[in-house]
Structure 1
Amino acid sequence: MDKQLRGPLIVSIIIIAAGIAILAVLNDQWQTDAVSINNPMINEVESGNETLDLKTIIHNAEKSVVQIEGQNEQNTKTGSGFIYNGKGDIITNAHVIKNADVINVRTANGHVYPAAVIGKGEETDIAVIRVPQLADQSALTLEDEEKAETGDDVIALGSPHGFQNTVTLGIISGTERNFTVDGFNYENAYQISAQITEGNSGGPLINRETGNVIGVNAVGTSDGTIGFSIPSNDIYKQVTTWSNEANNDQLNFKNTDDITSAENPEKLIEDAEYVAEYFFESISIRDYVGAYTLLGSAMQSADSYPDFREGYTQYVDFQYSDLKSNVTEDNQVKITAEVTAETKQSEEETQKEEITYKLTIDRENDQLKIMNISTDNE
């Protein structure tokens, strides 16, 4: 071989050999090192698919669920309903308000309002009533397209036997059930394992995954083991039409003064304890706005919302128990509750504190409000 070519050839061979060696080392490193991918779009999609927290779904839904009392001279029929738009319109069952001369609506925070019928089915067990005072309040999203499937997890809310905002869990155990009860035709109804008993009628059936209303609870078996719910997408067009056509000036509302007549002590305690429980549950789930709205005007004037909120934000856990109540001579309700509050001391350490809460609840503008709160720390 020419001596002039031998030198460059040797150099080329050395370079190629070195390149092969370097590639071999890099390949070995790639196989042993973990590959880290930082893709915001992937992270966003994964977060969006997370199931909503059950306690949050229930608490938010309870704000929109109401107890309905349909009264006439003979009797009072109790059922449930839920706000579904910004006009204060409430969906319920037609059989709940059938033959009612007066319709009263009791909200989650204990307020009572008169309601007027804006639409009622003759054969379909659906009705819509309106409470103008509840316009722009928390409303549930009514599913108008998606059909539920057998096996879907569901939450049923209502007021069985007068126990407001009772929650039962279950699944869709069947679909397209057709039957007739008391003159109402039920077509394509969902069969659910969540218990439906007296007072649940008209309450929402909520999809556990989305938090949206997929049905209106209507009928249950006598033993409460099987319930039936009317699919929301079957009634969406009708209830929307009723709402759009209704004019407040043409509706008949009973005077609120006639509703807030003298109450018996047992009923007053029941309603006041519901307000107290709603207050504590709001604090527990960090819904400080909801808790603040339960305070009387004097308390709100003395304590601004930021100051009120600041008094509770240090708690990482807040649980109440042992409500004890009594009615005073001037019809105030005194409620005592034992609270366990947990504060964060460090990244790994928390501290529990036992607090006795004393609430005074009374009427203000015909609504039950918390007039005073005092605490004793142990």
Structure 2
Amino acid sequence: MDKKLRGPVIMSVTLVIIGIVVLIILNNQLLTDDVSVNNPMINEVESSNETLDLKTIIHNAEKSVVQIEGQNEQNTKTGSGFLYNGKGDIITNAHVIKDADVINVRTANGHIYPAAVVGTGEETDIAVVRVPQLADQSALTLEEDTKAETGDEVIALGSPHGFQNTVTLGIISGTERNFTVDGFNYENAYQISAQITEGNSGGPLINRATGHVIGVNAVGTSDGTIGFSIPSNEIYDQVTSWSNEAKNDQLDFKNTNDITRTESPEQLAEDAEYVADYFFESISIRDYVGAYTLLGSAMQSAESYPDFREGYIHYVDLHYSDFKSDVSEDNQVKITAEVTAEVKQQEEEGTEEKQITYTLTIDRENDQLKIMQISTDE
């Protein structure tokens, strides 16, 4: 071989050999090392498939669902509604407030507020009313684009026959239903197996998987076996436009100064029992903040939130019986409940079952029902 060619040839062969060795080493390393995938999209898909706890969904939704009473000289029409933004705006059905001279909104804690109409559909059975006092309160998320499919599990909340915050479970049993009732056109409505009866109208239809509102419950069949709900994506733009355009100083809160509470002792006891039920339910799902907010100012001044929480954090499980209510002449309600609690032992492993008699004294403070005193007897 020519001496002039020998050097380049040797160098080329050397480089080839080095390249082969490097490839072998890299290949062996790939075979033995674990492959780590960091893909945000995968994480997002995995987290979105987590099913929310049913009891938590219902508990959180009940804070935002209200009962609506549309009154005129002839009668009172009762329906439901729900908060959907931070302005105190409530979505309901147009037929609930149609021809109403005065609109009252009753919240979960029994407080009654006057409401003003923000917008109402002429052919679409949707309306929005506003209660400024409920601004920045807990609101439900209204789905803008999501379209439900047949078989999706749903939760319907409302006040059928005046029973506030009644929950019905079901599925989407049909889609794209079109019909007309009392001059309102229902287009692409969801057909649901959850019952929609008198008082349910205007309540939210909630997706079981996400906890978000996918529809507004509207009408049902006379036998109560089938209900229909207006899809949220069909009305999202309209209700949002109404809310954005409305100014409080331009709204008509009809007869605000003339509205008085005329609730009977039976109604007061029912409202107080709802507060008590909400208190115990909050404790059972460890929503101590929610339970603490139900206490009157005197109780909150006497006991800080950390101390309050410490008193219940050892409850592993809690069950309670039907309430016994006693309404005094000054409209103070005493509610007695028999509670069975599984209490975690602080120094020992395991739990101990305790039978505890709770007595809650409930009264109005700043026109809201609050727990003024809690006493227990083991």
User: Which TM-score tier does this pair reach, normalised by the shorter chain?
Assistant: 0.7 to 0.9
Match of 2:179 in 1: 179
Q: Which moved more, 1:153-162 or 1:349-358?
A: 349-358
Asked if the contact 2:341/2:355 (under 8 Å) is kept, the reply is yes
Q: Structure 1: how far apart are the matches of 2:303 and 2:256?
A: 29
Asked if the contact 2:102/2:255 (under 8 Å) is kept, the reply is no
Match of 2:200 in 1: 200
Q: Structure 2: how far apart are the matches of 1:206 and 1:63?
A: 14
Asked if the contact 2:109/2:368 (under 8 Å) is kept, the reply is no
Cα distance, 1:290 vs structure 2: 1.5
Asked if the contact 1:296/1:371 (under 8 Å) is kept, the reply is yes
Cα distance, 1:206 vs structure 2: 0.6
Gaps of 5+ in 2: 1-31
- Kindly provide the amino acid, as one letter, of the partner of residue 350 in structure 1: T
TM-score (norm 1): 0.86
- Kindly provide the amino acid, as one letter, of the partner of residue 70 in structure 2: G
After superposition, the CA RMSD in angstroms is 2.0
Q: CA deviation digits over 1:206-260, x for unaligned, max 9?
A: 1111111110000011111100000000000000000000000111224666434
Q: Structure 2: how far apart are the matches of 1:128 and 1:296?
A: 31
Q: Structure 1: how far apart are the matches of 2:313 and 2:45?
A: 30
Q: CA deviation digits over 1:45-90, x for unaligned, max 9?
A: 5344211111111111111111111111111111000100111100
Match of 1:290 in 2: 290
Match of 1:365 in 2: 366
Asked if the contact 1:260/1:366 (under 8 Å) is kept, the reply is no
Q: 1:38/1:46 Cα in 2 relative to 1: closer, same or farther (>3 Å)?
A: farther
Q: Structure 2: how far apart are the matches of 1:296 and 1:255?
A: 29
Q: 1:301/1:188 Cα in 2 relative to 1: closer, same or farther (>3 Å)?
A: same
Q: Structure 1: how far apart are the matches of 2:280 and 2:178?
A: 42
Asked if the contact 1:202/1:218 (under 8 Å) is kept, the reply is yes
Match of 2:357 in 1: 356
- The list of structure 1 runs, each at least 4 consecutive aligned residues, that deviate by more than 6 angstroms after superposition, is 35-44
Match of 1:101 in 2: 101
- SS of the aligned residue for 1:195 comes to coil
Cα distance, 1:112 vs structure 2: 1.5
Q: Structure 2: how far apart are the matches of 1:203 and 1:283?
A: 26
- Kindly provide the amino acid, as one letter, of the partner of residue 285 in structure 1: I
Asked if the contact 1:71/1:103 (under 8 Å) is kept, the reply is yes
Match of 1:267 in 2: 267
Match of 1:155 in 2: 155
- SS of the aligned residue for 2:312 comes to coil
Cα distance, 1:316 vs structure 2: 1.3
Q: Structure 1: how far apart are the matches of 2:376 and 2:38?
A: 46
Match of 1:6 in 2: none
Match of 2:3 in 1: none
Q: Structure 1: how far apart are the matches of 2:137 and 2:226?
A: 32
Q: Structure 2: how far apart are the matches of 1:37 and 1:46?
A: 19
Q: Which moved more, 1:79-88 or 1:310-319?
A: 310-319
Q: 1:328/1:309 Cα in 2 relative to 1: closer, same or farther (>3 Å)?
A: same
Q: Which moved more, 1:312-321 or 1:146-155?
A: 312-321
Cα distance, 1:193 vs structure 2: 0.4
Cα distance, 1:343 vs structure 2: 1.7
Match of 1:210 in 2: 210
Q: How many residues align?
A: 344
Q: Structure 2: how far apart are the matches of 1:56 and 1:283?
A: 12
